[in-house]
Amino acid sequence: MKRVYQLDYLRGILAMFVVWHHGFLPYTTGKYSALIIESGVSPFLSRIITYFDIFFMSAFFFVSGLFFYKSLVRRKDFLRRNLLRFSVYFIVGVYLINSVGYFYSIAFHYKFEPSIANYFTFMVESKLNFPGFQMWFIWVLVLFQVVGVVLYKLNVFEKEITKRPFIFLSVFVLVAYLVYSVMDGIYGSGFITLFGPFSFQASRLLMYFTFFIAGVYIGKGDIYTSLISKEKLSKYWVVFLVVGCFFAEMVILFITLSLWEYLALIRFMFVLSNSLLTFGFVGLAMSIKQRNVVLEFMGKFAIYIFIVHYSVVAVMQYYMFNSNLPVIWKGLIVGLFGYDISFGLSLLYNYIKSRITGKSLNEI
């Protein structure tokens, strides 16, 4: 299978956005979902994370869908391998790595010293009953893959439905809007915990699945001649980003003015902005012609960065709390350097892994 390095770039960029999002969070109007809570608010960072929240997880599922079909056809053990691999990621991420960030959050709120001795006491007393935090993406992705395998067995993906782009995209946006509207009307916008670390944002679950399935259909053939190739949709990436930002601003405006009588329109503009921004960033990545070593490693390490970053930024936010810096500088420092540290830890892990296995970093 020919590797589409532009999609690796996109995964790396999206992982960076995720780190920035969680790094900026305590310094924004969305601070109450953060592990560490600051008193000040940066309007600029608040607007940035609103944009991130609108589209980046949908984009992650869409890109995952692009890789799904060919990987499934190529590897007979695809599902078993992914179940094992992602189970390890999930367990290590929740119970080992995220426990550090959660511990610092508890230390912050209950005002005790985050020492090594207190950490082990915390681990024993908590009985490993930790929230999943960002790791919800891992188990939901596996769930989508399981459903995708079932659909593959039923020959659902044999139909060629992307040859008429306008109809395909119109149906895609319509379905995403309908399932989002129904789920948002039933469950609201919050997260639901099934048990233990297994939580998800119910209002967006089926919308995310719609993005995943759209990615599967588009990724069946050659990506370089597909619907998202630079000769087709991707050449309009600037238009997608500009119009997507416009509808994102409209959503923010309507919510700010509490125009809830237009809730159906708000939901539609949200889904439309989500779709446009996703295709805009896909197009931006697909338009990159030159190979870039940094972007390649950002994409290669995206999953590891995603797993480790939550605790990295939480620890940084804890120690930044008593700083007298303006909140915007705190957020930028945590977001930017939090990504660098997460990248460095991922690089170190893969370097050690390469030394043990005898493979180069490019082969890992």
Name the band, by pLDDT with cuts 50, 70 and 90, for residue 163: confident
Query: What whole-number distance in Å separates Cα of residue 24 and Cα of residue 45?
Result: 6
pTM for this prediction: 0.95
Predicted pLDDT at 2: 67
Helix (H) or strand (E) holding 256: helix 237-256
Distance CA 179, CA 297 (A): 36
Are 101 and 315 a contacting pair, CB within 8 Å?
yes
Q: What distance in Å separates the CA atoms of residue 273 and residue 240, rounded to the nearest whole number?
A: 9
Q: Answer whether residue 1 shows pLDDT above 60.
A: no
- Judge whether 228 and 234 are in contact, CB under 8 Å: yes
Query: For 322-332, what is each residue's pLDDT tens digit?
Result: 999 999 999 99
Query: What value does the mean pLDDT take over residues 58-65?
Result: 97
% of the chain exceeding 70 in pLDDT: 99
Residue found under tokens 């995603």: 306
Tell me: pLDDT of 3 over 80: no
pLDDT surpassing 80 at residue 362: no
Kindly state the tokens that stand for 209.
Answer: 């699945």
Quick: pLDDT tens for 215-263: 999 999 889 889 999 889 899 999 999 999 999 999 999 999 999 999 9
Q: What is the pLDDT of residue 172?
A: 97
Check residue 289 and give its pLDDT: 86
Mean per-residue pLDDT, 63-79: 93
**Which pLDDT band holds residue 76 (cuts at 50, 70, 90)?**
confident
pLDDT on residue 342: 98
Q: Is-contact 68 56, C-beta < 8 A? A: no
pLDDT score, position 358: 81
Indicate the angle between helix axes 43-74 and 237-256, nearest 10 degrees: 130
Which amino acid, one-letter code, is at 136?
W
The percentage of residues in the chain with a pLDDT greater than 90, rounded to a whole number, is 82
CA distance 1 to 14: 23
Degrees to nearest 5, angle at CA 254 with 253 and 258: 115
Q: Is the pLDDT of residue 357 over 90?
A: no
Residue 205 near residue 211 (C-beta atoms within 8 A): no
pLDDT at 135 over 80: yes
**How far does CA 17 lie from the centroid of its chain?**
8
Res 364: pLDDT: 67
pLDDT digits (tens, 9 = 90+) for 187-221: 998 888 888 899 999 999 999 999 999 999 999 98
Cα(173)–Cα(276) distance, integer angstroms: 10
b (16+ CB within 10 A) / e for 318-338: bebeeeeeebbebbbbbbeeb
Q: Quick: pLDDT tens for 258-287.
A: 999 999 999 999 999 999 999 999 999 999
Please, what is the end-to-end C-alpha distance for the chain in angstroms?
17
Distance between CA 223 and CA 67 in Å, rounded? 10
Task: Please spell the DSSP secondary structure of 329-349, one letter per residue.
Answer: HHHHHHHHHHHHHHHHHHHHH
Please tell me the distance from the alpha carbon of residue 306 to that of residue 56, in angstroms, as a whole number: 13
